[in-house]
Amino acid sequence: SRSISLAVIPGDGIGQEVVSEGLKVLSAVLPQDVKLETKTYDFGAKRWHETGETLTDSDLARLREHDAILLGAIGDPSVPSGVLERGFLLKLRFAFDHHVNLRPGKLLPGVKSPLAGDREIDFVVVREGTEGPYAGNGGVLRAGTPHEVATEVSVNTAFGIERVVRDAYARAQARPRKKLTLVHKNNVLVHAGHLWKNIFDRVGQEFPEVTTDYLHVDAATIFFVTQPERFDVIVTDNLFGDILTDLAAAITGGIGLAASGNINPSGEFPSMFEPVHGSAPDIAGQGKADPTATVLSVALLLQHLGYGEQAARIEAAVAADLAERGDAQRSTSAIGDALAARVSG
């Protein structure tokens, strides 16, 4: 009989609330013969305040034993900016080599986009997750003086780019439109940009059926609002991917719906799935948060673990729920209940 060992990290703010609903839907959709074992970890602001720890080596060793990780949200205004982001979220992505940061941008029927007109938006952003400007490679000189210099080094390797570019081609190849767009800024960031472009062109020879396209990041943001239909699969670096996926979430109904997977395709380390939204401390504990992004992240998790049929059932349930949602406000758990009922139906 099969089993899934899942590490659950509710985290801060609304994290706890949305993760509960994600687990509710996960339990409802799994076949009877699959044993789900979950273990909850208390990472986040509270633990940092109490112990000064964000993510230790022994935490990583324990997390590594699981098949996958489900995360709610990490971050709180009481913690200085950067401490939990660099010390937990990015540390985990880097330690577990989550180089494929997968973020679908799909406008589902019934969902209101801030864009005018009827739009058909259905793309996937493959964001590199382990290098670029996120490498944490920078520093300061003459701190606190009028002559201070602060640097941030974007580190890009042929190894790191090639694997994520190849992953993106494979995803494009598997989709009906078979189109892949590289987004960078190779007219200014010439060193990194040309390395990306060269590898993109070379790997493309292995995928003759995939149509390719290159856009500078500034031009890409224009097309996101004027012509989002043109995108199928997008591959881009860590920072451009961060920016574009928030914009993608905005045009497809908001970060309340945006799912993401931090994937290690080799399976050497467990992959981590999380909603794109943050901890939203202003609405935490009020049962107001929309758990849909977390539920869709559970679908990505199932897909990754080989439960494609169950993933598709979650996506269909979300689509049906959204189509009927209207303007009525429902609580976090009401939405979770509705989705759980649909997937087990």
Ligand X SMILES: CC(C)[C@H](C(=O)O)[C@@H](O)C(=O)O
Task: Assess whether 134 carries a catalytic annotation.
Answer: yes
Stretch that binds ligand X, among 84-92, 141-149, 223-231, 288-296 (CB under 6 A): 84-92
Over the window 76 to 105, marking each residue x when it contacts a second copy by CB under 8 A and - when it does not, the resulting string is -----xx--xx---x---------------
Q: Which two tokens stand for residue 274?
A: 């999380």
3-state secondary structure of 270: coil
> Of 32, 26, 25, whose CA–CA distance to 1 is shortest?
32
Q: Is 266 in the site for ligand X (CB under 6 A)?
A: no
User: For a second copy, which residue of 130, 156, 262, 294 counts as binding (CB under 8 A)?
Assistant: 156
Nearer of residues 263 and 276 to ligand X, judged by Cβ: 276
Length of the chain: 345
Min CB(140)–ligand X separation in Å: 20
Q: Is 134 in the site for a second copy (CB under 8 A)?
A: yes
Task: Assess whether 242 carries a catalytic annotation.
Answer: yes
Question: Exposure of 134 by Cβ count < 10 A (0-12 exposed, 13-18 middle, 19+ buried)?
Answer: buried
Amino acid code (one letter) for 216: H
Q: Write out the binding residues for a second copy, residues 235-254 only, by CB under 8 A.
A: 239, 242-243, 245-247, 249-251, 254
Instruction: Answer yes or no: are the C-beta atoms of 183 and 236 closer than 8 Å.
Output: yes
Nearer of residues 68 and 183 to a second copy, judged by Cβ: 183
Q: Is 188 in the site for ligand X (CB under 6 A)?
A: yes
What is the rounded distance in angstroms from the CA atom of residue 22 to the CA atom of residue 272?
A: 14
With CB under 6 A as the rule, give the number of residues binding ligand X: 8
What is the rounded distance in angstroms from the CA atom of residue 234 to the CA atom of residue 241?
A: 9
Neighbouring CB atoms inside 10 A of 20's CB total 17
Does 279 carry a binding-site annotation?
yes
Q: Are strands 68-73 and 2-11 parallel, antiparallel or unpaired?
A: parallel
60 binds, among ligand X, a second copy, none (CB under 5 to 8 A by kind): none
Q: Is 282 in the site for a second copy (CB under 8 A)?
A: no
Does 67 carry a binding-site annotation?
no
> Of 285, 193, 207, whose CA–CA distance to 240 is shortest?
193
Binding residues for Mg(2+): 218, 242, 246
- Residues at the site binding ligand X, with contacts judged by CB under 6 A: 85, 89-90, 187-188, 218, 242, 276
Would you please indicate which residues are annotated as catalytic (active-site) residues? 134, 185, 218, 242, 246
